[in-house]
Chains A and B, each alone.
Chain A
Amino acid sequence: MDFTYDDEQQALRDAVRGLIGKKYSDFETRRQTVAADPGFDETTWSRLAELGALGLPFSEDDGGAGAGPIEVAIVAQELGRVIAPEPYLTSVVLAGGLVADAGSDTQRAEILGALSAGESILAFAHDEPGSRWAPTASKVTASGSGDAWTLTGVKEPVLAGARADTLIVSAALPEGGTGLFVVDPANTDRTGYPTNDGGRAARIGFNGTAAVPLGVGGDATSVIATGLDRARIIAANQAVGAMEVSLHATASYLTSRKQFGVTLNTFQALNFRAADMYISLELTRSIVDWATMVLVEGTSEEIADAASRAALQTSRASRHIGQEAIQLHGGIGMTAEYSIGSYTSHLTALDHLFGDGNHHLRVLAGKVGDHADVDPLG
């Protein structure tokens, strides 16, 4: 077992940090970027493509860079450190991941090629009003056969849905199961809006909208489940980056903010709470690194288990660290102009994208009788 990055991974981290970390090193830039549509910086997106970051998880045949989950996790952590608004998680990891897993040769080459080159934004339209992180669809239904299908119903909230050039849509199949389809968003009814953390989501209505099955078609529930698990683990990496910076910003605030004629770190009770935040962070980093490694070579069952465990720990830690970060900053932590509240807002969004801690607690509790102990080296 080895938790360290090799030279190439280190170089990737430095390159991404150089690009994205620099772009958003001044929090005001991030604020201005999320204030205007599309909510991220298209130039930065192109630069990420040039760097090869957008194609990391995809094979070279499909126009990607042929790297793997560790490299993707590195990018996610860097994005998290500056809470960059670029839709990497939803477009590359989630939607792109599904195409890589289930698309036909032509679809992969076309869709992933354009995605890796930064020419096209991809979105996965899956959540439905009332749905709760299930790998299935019910409110959007598909009808048709062969290559000629149509979709009807509403998906909401769809991350990056209003800006997307291509949609991957889940829909209930006539004979049961959930299928995946490729849809041109021009034929849908889209309304975009900001999410709490400055991201973008959309309501997307389908009304007999033409759709092409992704790959061979048919029930894709297990593909979706694994795609969501992958996104969970990468989202947890993004959260680790955000938590690390939240903690350091808080520690440094405690050493500079003066009240009662002394800096706040004079009060032991506050230092102890910062120390507890550090403990939360380190435990989370360990479980998230482990889950990322499971993603490299685990079976889909092992990935599912690791994803739930990482998500549970990350959810608990991100609430702990986010809430404490604001509290220890006092009033300034509540303001939009100062960064720390936006970190907490982003952590809250990440927590609710693919299943919060309690969701995963429930999943794990349902399986607790299946094993005597949990062995990470198993």
Chain B
Amino acid sequence: MHLKLSPEDAAFREELRTYFTTEIPQEIRDAVAQRRELTKEQIVTAHKILNKGGYAVPHWPTEWGGRGWTDLQRHIWHEELQRANVPLPLVFNSSMVGPVIAAFGSQEQKEKFLPATANLDIWWSQGFSEPDAGSDLASLRTTAEYVEDESGARFVVNGQKTWTTLGQYGDWIFCLVRTDPDVKKQAGISFLLIDMTTPGVTVRPIELIDGGHEVNEVWFEDVQVPAENLVGELNRGWDYAKFLLGNERVGVAPVGATKRVLASAKEWAGDLVAEDPFLAARFVELENELLALELTALRVSANSADGKPHPASSVLKLKGTELQQAVSELVVDIAGPGAIASGAGEGSDLEHWQARSTPAYLNLRKASIYGGSNEVQRQIIARTILGL
């Protein structure tokens, strides 16, 4: 056991810090710091700059832009991005579909999609959930029927996906579809890539309780998808989805971002911290829990074998989202009466962070619901770790 970063890792961290704080436009990093909603352009710009430096997909196979970093280096990368208020590389591209195509896709798919995915020339959406398939994802019903005739081999897709995050920006969507209705439900699912400009694809916005429009319904009506867009083997989609969801859970504990908001909160609270021992105590509790979580993340990343997610990554997801939510709750409380003024505009005398505090708090209720809800994480801990 030893505590310090090695000189190489320390130098590595310094290099990232410099790149992130000098290359990513200040106004984008300010928007993140002020918890503003980012525009599509801001996300794309930041992602492309990261990719130019080799920092968008460092965990991919080196052939496709990966950097062959250690898990600790990946951890440092993730933390430094958040510390510098850099928007994270688009998760659908870098953590979800990219690694799946790299691991299971055909050579043609790799060549066609991976460079464009790494550079966010294609914006991917995740089409997994359906109205009746949430936690129970395997009961999804969107069908893809295989057809082969004079106009070629293709799938005809029908059904509805929901909760598609930022689907309004999506160029392509990776979907789980039912290709065999007659077998055990996990065994009849395939992983399909669909161009969202194909006729028959409709995206409809869903308004959330913070007033934002970040999720959508996506409808498929007789959508013709070339057979070559099937990833891997027919009816093996569930395996690829499990691989993807495992990746999704790594780095899900947003320790860096939460620490940053907590540090901002201290600034926003100003003299209140010194005047109010209860508030000070809440800061201390949260700081300490975040410390424990960060150290757990370090322990897990130092020990994860051959890139496979450590079983304790459920701890990171669960506790990480709880702390993220708790810090957002603290900010609402610090905002005081200003916390209700979410609609305050430019002429307001309230601080922007006050007006943003409640929408941010309400919006973050999602963190314990998606990506495998916290109940599902508890189930994983109970079953696979404790053997219950």
B349, A195: Cβ atoms under 8 Å? no
B207, A335: Cβ atoms under 8 Å? yes
- B76 is an interface residue with CB less than 8 A from chain A: no
Bound: A331/B363 CA distance, A: 11
A131, B206: Cβ atoms under 8 Å? no
Lowest 5 CB-CB distances: which A-B pairs, in order?
A341-B209, A193-B343, A194-B343, A336-B207, A196-B342
Measured CB to CB, the closest approach of chain A to B67, in angstroms, equals: 35
Measured CB to CB, the closest approach of chain A to B161, in angstroms, equals: 12
Residues facing B in A321-339 (CB within 8 A) are 323, 326-327, 330-331, 333-337
- A362 is an interface residue with CB less than 8 A from chain B: yes
B340, A199: Cβ atoms under 8 Å? yes
Bound: A267/B378 CA distance, A: 13
Contact for A334 among B208, B332, B338, B351, CB less than 8 A: B208
- The closest CB in chain B to the CB of A331 belongs to B163
Bound: A94/B374 CA distance, A: 41
- The closest CB in chain B to the CB of A336 belongs to B207
Measured CB to CB, the closest approach of chain A to B211, in angstroms, equals: 7
- The closest CB in chain A to the CB of B342 belongs to A196
Query: Within 8 Å CB of B368, what residues of A?
Result: 327
Residues facing A in B120-165 (CB within 8 A) are 129, 132, 134-136, 139, 162-163
Beyond contacts A156-B344, A195-B341, A201-B340: 10 other A-B pairs, Cβ-Cβ < 8 A, are A129-B351, A133-B336, A193-B348, A194-B343, A196-B358, A259-B139, A269-B375, A334-B208, A345-B209, A358-B278
A334, B342: Cβ atoms under 8 Å? no
Bound: A302/B309 CA distance, A: 57
- A258 is an interface residue with CB less than 8 A from chain B: yes
Bound: A286/B189 CA distance, A: 52
Bound: A258/B333 CA distance, A: 36
Q: Mark A294-324, 1 if CB is under 8 A from B, else 0.
A: 0000000000000000000000000100010
- A101 is an interface residue with CB less than 8 A from chain B: no
B208, A336: Cβ atoms under 8 Å? yes
B163, A352: Cβ atoms under 8 Å? no
- The closest CB in chain A to the CB of B163 belongs to A331
Q: Mark A158-200, 1 if CB is under 8 A from B, else 0.
A: 0100000000000000000000000000000001011111010
- B339 is an interface residue with CB less than 8 A from chain A: yes
Query: Within 8 Å CB of A344, what residues of B?
Result: 209, 362, 365
- B370 is an interface residue with CB less than 8 A from chain A: yes
- The closest CB in chain A to the CB of B378 belongs to A269
- B279 is an interface residue with CB less than 8 A from chain A: yes
- A349 is an interface residue with CB less than 8 A from chain B: yes
- A353 is an interface residue with CB less than 8 A from chain B: yes
- B264 is an interface residue with CB less than 8 A from chain A: no
- The closest CB in chain B to the CB of A192 belongs to B343
- A3 is an interface residue with CB less than 8 A from chain B: no
A203, B362: Cβ atoms under 8 Å? no
Bound: A336/B338 CA distance, A: 22
Query: Within 8 Å CB of A365, what residues of B?
Result: 278
A348, B369: Cβ atoms under 8 Å? no
Q: Which residues of B are in contact with A by a Cβ distance under 8 Å?
A: 129, 132, 134-136, 139, 162-163, 206-211, 215, 272, 276, 278-279, 282, 325, 329, 332-333, 335-345, 347-351, 358-359, 361-362, 365-366, 368-370, 373-375, 378
- The closest CB in chain A to the CB of B213 belongs to A336
Bound: A57/B355 CA distance, A: 33
Query: Within 8 Å CB of B351, what residues of A?
Result: 129
Q: Mark A131-173, 1 if CB is under 8 A from B, else 0.
A: 1110000000000000000000010110100000000000000
B369, A331: Cβ atoms under 8 Å? yes
Given contacts A131-B337, A196-B342, A362-B276, contact A348 B350 (CB under 8 A): no
- A356 is an interface residue with CB less than 8 A from chain B: yes
Query: Within 8 Å CB of A194, what residues of B?
Result: 342-343
Given contacts A129-B338, A195-B342, A352-B339, contact A326 B347 (CB under 8 A): no
A-B residue pairs in contact (CB < 8 Å), sample of 8: A156-B338, A157-B350, A193-B341, A193-B343, A259-B136, A327-B365, A344-B209, A353-B337
- The closest CB in chain A to the CB of B162 belongs to A331
Bound: A335/B210 CA distance, A: 9
B349, A203: Cβ atoms under 8 Å? yes
A195, B132: Cβ atoms under 8 Å? no
Query: Within 8 Å CB of A131, what residues of B?
Result: 336-337
Residue among B209, B210, B368 with the highest chain A CB neighbour number at 10 A: B209
Measured CB to CB, the closest approach of chain B to A11, in angstroms, equals: 34
A335, B206: Cβ atoms under 8 Å? yes
Contact for A352 among B209, B211, B336, B365, CB less than 8 A: B336
Given contacts A319-B329, A342-B209, A352-B337, contact A326 B349 (CB under 8 A): no
Measured CB to CB, the closest approach of chain B to A258, in angstroms, equals: 7
Residues facing B in A255-269 (CB within 8 A) are 258-261, 267, 269
Query: Within 8 Å CB of A127, what residues of B?
Result: 337-338
- A361 is an interface residue with CB less than 8 A from chain B: yes
Bound: A270/B135 CA distance, A: 14
Given contacts A194-B342, A269-B378, contact A260 B136 (CB under 8 A): yes
- The closest CB in chain A to the CB of B336 belongs to A132
Query: Within 8 Å CB of A196, what residues of B?
Result: 210, 339-340, 342-343, 358-359, 362
Query: Within 8 Å CB of B369, what residues of A?
Result: 326-327, 330-331, 333-334
Bound: A199/B343 CA distance, A: 10
Measured CB to CB, the closest approach of chain A to B265, in angstroms, equals: 14
Bound: A38/B173 CA distance, A: 41
B340, A157: Cβ atoms under 8 Å? yes
- The closest CB in chain A to the CB of B212 belongs to A336
- The closest CB in chain A to the CB of B337 belongs to A127
A330, B278: Cβ atoms under 8 Å? no
Query: Within 8 Å CB of B341, what residues of A?
Result: 156-157, 193, 195, 201
Query: Within 8 Å CB of B276, what residues of A?
Result: 362
Query: Within 8 Å CB of A132, what residues of B?
Result: 272, 336-337
Bound: A157/B357 CA distance, A: 14
- The closest CB in chain A to the CB of B348 belongs to A203
Residues facing B in A235-272 (CB within 8 A) are 258-261, 267, 269-270
A330, B365: Cβ atoms under 8 Å? no
Given contacts A345-B209, A361-B278, A362-B278, contact A258 B336 (CB under 8 A): no
A348, B136: Cβ atoms under 8 Å? no
Measured CB to CB, the closest approach of chain A to B214, in angstroms, equals: 10
